[in-house]
Amino acid sequence: MFDTLTVKSKFNDYTVEFVDNINKIFEQIEQENYMVFMDANIDRLYPLLRNKNNIIVICTENMKNLQGANIIFNALIEKKCNVNTKLIVIGGGILQDMVGFCASTYYRGINYISIPTTLLSQVDSCIGGKTGLNFKNKKNIIGTFHPPKNIIICQDFLKTLISLDFYNGMGEIYKFHILQNKIKSFSIHGNIKDMIYDGLKYKIDIISRDEFDKGERRFLNFGHTFGHALESSSNYIIPHGIGVVIGSIISIIISKKLEYEIDNYDDIINIGTELIKNSGIKFKKKWFDFDKLIQIVKNDKKSNGKLIMVLINNGPIIEVVENLYDVKESIKEIYEIIEKL
Ligand SMILES: NC(=O)c1ccc[n+]([C@@H]2O[C@H](COP(=O)([O-])OP(=O)(O)OC[C@H]3O[C@@H](n4cnc5c(N)ncnc54)[C@H](O)[C@@H]3O)[C@@H](O)[C@H]2O)c1
């Protein structure tokens, strides 16, 4: 097993602990005044975690909004949760974002423990303290910073992931490899535990210097500008991690058109293409409509009406992209690649 990791935070430092067996999860948690929110698929697949007091939440991107938050707030009130109640979240990034948001606002902030169960949530979304809800087709437009008190990772959960969710998580690992200029060492057959540990260490390093997304943490948004837009344009049939892969390829193609310095361009395209193919998604041309995507991107919370992207020029850079012709061509190129898969 891996050593516990510590995340430094302006709120409170918190730890990421690793347990090797699902039975041991609750051994790590003080069993007093707590309430469990559990993803409906975890409830279905892991009967040993069932408890009549658990609140079961069906987790979809279309419920990660005020309607979903309403369900959580109602449960908190019905169960008479107070300022000292500790929430335990057992699920993927969607449940974490929703319950994290509610925990940050209920009684102006109560504690929660995160038990991420998907690859994406174990390697990425469990740390950093961002919570988020979608609103009117705008991704994560409502949100707060509210880190958990503690994170417990058990990789046994990953055994039951469907293939799409495995490749979805791989999407964020792919992004970390590009940002660290080590795409050559990426393999979908690599040791998943090591990839999670390395991904977490990389993200912890960045957020320890920039917790609130003012500087270098914004590099972690690589692939997200068009990734988020594609999630929206496909009505979330393209999940977050696969959106990030496609968005990363769009960024790389634009960087190349701008004649920026990129190592291992072909590997980045080929590996990304393999992940997209393995996702098994049946892509539709209308999701890649340039005008629609640009409209979504310019409405994004981080855009200020401009097209702001993380590109690669001898490492990540943040740039306002003015040449929309290059962007249009890059989207066309990635769609042509996807069409042939
Ligand atoms: N807050 C952040 O910093 C941050 C970072 C990255 C992504 N996100 C958000 O995370 C979300 C995506 O997270 P996700 O990919 O974990 O999606 P998710 O939570 O929807 O989980 C994906 C699917 O896997 C199922 N599932 C969960 N655990 C399982 C298991 N062990 N076995 C079988 N099925 C399981 C879920 O029920 C769901 O159907 C997006 O909304 C994205 O915006 C947040």
Residue of the CA atom closest to atom 31 of ligand 1: 157
Whole-structure pTM value = 0.97
Residues in CB range of 282: below 8 A, 6 or more apart: none
Cα-to-centroid distance, 98 and ligand 1 (Å): 11
Dihedral angle sign, alpha carbons of residues 188, 216, 313, 229:
positive
**How far out from the chain centre does Cα 313 lie?**
24
What spacing in Å lies between the alpha carbon of 306 and ligand 1's midpoint?
A: 29
* pLDDT for residue 2: 85
- What is the distance between the alpha carbons of residues 10 and 236, in angstroms, rounded to a whole number? 33
- Please tell me the number of Cα atoms within 13 Å of 269 on its side-chain side: 18
Atom of ligand 1 nearest to the CA of 121: 16
Q: Is the separation of the CB atoms in 226 and 30 below 8 Å?
A: no
Residues near 242 by beta carbon (within 8 Å), at least 6 away in sequence: 164, 167, 168, 171, 275, 276, 279, 281
Residue 262, pLDDT score = 98
CA–CA separation, 44 and 2 (whole Å)? 28
pLDDT value of position 304: 76
The string of DSSP letters for 200-212 reads HHHHHHHHHH-TT
Q: Which atom of ligand 1 is nearest to the CA of 139?
A: 43
- Tens of pLDDT, residues 279-330: 999 999 999 999 999 999 988 767 777 899 999 999 999 999 999 999 999 9
Task: Please give the Cα distance from 10 to 61 (Å, whole number).
Answer: 29
The backbone torsions φ and ψ at residue 139, rounded to the nearest 5 degrees and listed phi first, read -70, 130
- Are the C-beta atoms of residues 310 and 219 closer than 8 Å to each other? yes
pLDDT at 303: 72
Enumerate the β-bridge partners of residue 135: 138
Q: Is 147 in the pocket of ligand 1 (CB under 6 A)?
A: no
Residues 244/172, Cβ–Cβ less than 8 Å? yes
Q: Read off the pLDDT of residues 5-51 as tens digits, 9 standing for 90 and up.
A: 999 999 999 999 999 999 989 887 888 899 999 999 999 999 999 99
CA-based nearest residue to 315, from 260, 245, 272:
260
Mean pLDDT score across all residues of the chain: 96
Q: Return the half-sphere exposure (C-beta side, CA atoms, 13 A cut-off) of residue 134.
A: 19
Is-contact 299 307, C-beta < 8 A? no
User: Does the Cβ of 211 fall within 6 Å of ligand 1?
Assistant: no
Query: Which residue out of 14, 64, 95, 97 has the highest number of ligand 1 atoms within 8 Å of its CB and is therefore the one to mutate?
Result: 97
CA of 291 to the centre of ligand 1 (A): 29
Which residue, by CA, sits nearest to atom 19 of ligand 1? 92
Distances (CA, A) of 292 to 48, 153, 241, 321: 46, 38, 21, 17
How many helices, marked H, and strands, marked E, lie in the chain?
A: 11, 11
Q: In the block, which residue shows the tokens 């590997």?
A: 267
Confirm or reject: Cβ of 64 under 6 Å from ligand 1.
yes
Q: Check pLDDT > 90 for residue 204.
A: yes
Whether the per-residue pLDDT at 180 is higher than 70: the answer is: yes
Q: What Cα–Cα distance (Å) separates residue 258 from each residue in 108, 168, 218, 332, 336? A: 46, 29, 21, 16, 20
| Closest residue CA from atom 5 of ligand 1 | 125
Q: Which residue's alpha carbon is at the smallest distance from atom 15 of ligand 1? A: 120
Question: The dihedral of CA 218, 219, 222, 226: what is its sign?
Answer: positive
323 C-alpha vs ligand 1 centroid, how far in Å? 34
